[in-house]
Amino acid sequence: MDLVHPPPPPPPTNPITAVTPSTANITNSPSIGTTSSSTITTPPTTPSRYENQKRRDWNTFCQYLRNHRPPLNLTLCSGAHVLEFLRYLDQFGKTKVHNQTCPFFGLPNPPAPCPCPLRQAWGSLDALIGRLRAAYEEHGGRPEANPFGARAVRIYLREVRDFQAKARGVSYEKKRKRPKQKVTTSTVTVTPPPLVPDHHQSAPNNHHQ
């Protein structure tokens, strides 16, 4: 006789994890009167090349003031100190500026090397002053007291531009843009000639034979 085993008892339910259908519906259904909000994260903006260069130039100038003997305070900085800073940068220049006694004075492409010194190019100095002038006001400086916009600085940059143009045989004058010529297109309407009847064509014979 075969033995009949009783059915196994149902597994015990965990009172903590057991969820009744009514509880699941309440838990998963959204609450009345509440709105779901999604957080929109904007990616961080990368500083432009101009902003990075302006920050480096400002840090270099502040370091120059700290190393000055005696150290200079930014609030006491004047146009004369800016000129000292520009002349200090000449030792790091890479542009050959010929002296007036040099045989290559005024030649844009000298055929041989010469002992003339290297200087900062006028374009680099002009762009540097523009960035430092903007950075000064961004750090709380008053526009009317901006040492980078002093008249002495503008005169110095103009003299550097004129001398380097003569010494290097180049022109820093901005080329004027030629006005674009407007190309007008005229529409030509061709009228076909009227149809001329052919008199040589025989007329249809209307006579009955």
Amino acid of residue 104: F
Where are the extended beta strands (E) located within the chain?
95-96, 118-119
Once rounded to an integer, what is the mean pLDDT over residues 55-67? 95
DSSP 130-143: HHHHHHHHHTT--G
C-alpha to C-alpha distance for 121 and 152, rounded to whole angstroms: 18
Q: Tell me how far the alpha carbon of residue 190 is from its chain's centroid.
A: 52
pLDDT band for position 178 (cuts 50, 70, 90) = low
pLDDT of 175 reads 56
pLDDT band for position 196 (cuts 50, 70, 90) = low
Rounded percentage of the chain residues whose pLDDT exceeds 90: 54
Cα pseudo-dihedral 112, 114, 119, 120, rounded to 10: 0
* Cβ-based neighbours of 128, under 8 Å, separated by 6 or more: 57, 86, 89
C-alpha to C-alpha distance for 27 and 14, rounded to whole angstroms: 18
Length of the chain in residues, anyone? 209
pLDDT of 64 reads 95
pLDDT band for position 182 (cuts 50, 70, 90) = low
DSSP 148-201: GG-HHHHHHHHHHHHHHHHHHT---PPPPPPPPPP---PPPPPPPPPPPP-TTS
Judged by average pLDDT, the poorest of 6-15, 16-25, 35-44, 83-92 is 16-25
Once rounded to an integer, what is the mean pLDDT over residues 12-17? 46
Once rounded to an integer, what is the mean pLDDT over residues 197-207? 52
pLDDT of 120 reads 96
C-alpha to C-alpha distance for 116 and 93, rounded to whole angstroms: 12
Once rounded to an integer, what is the mean pLDDT over residues 28-33? 45
For residue range 83-97, what is the model confidence (pLDDT) as tens digits? 999 999 999 999 999
C-alpha to C-alpha distance for 201 and 134, rounded to whole angstroms: 91
15 vs 117, higher pLDDT: 117
Mean of pLDDT over the chain: 77
State whether residue 124 is helix, strand or coil.
Answer: helix
pLDDT of 199 reads 54
Burial class (CB in 10 A: 0-12, 13-18, 19+), 141: middle
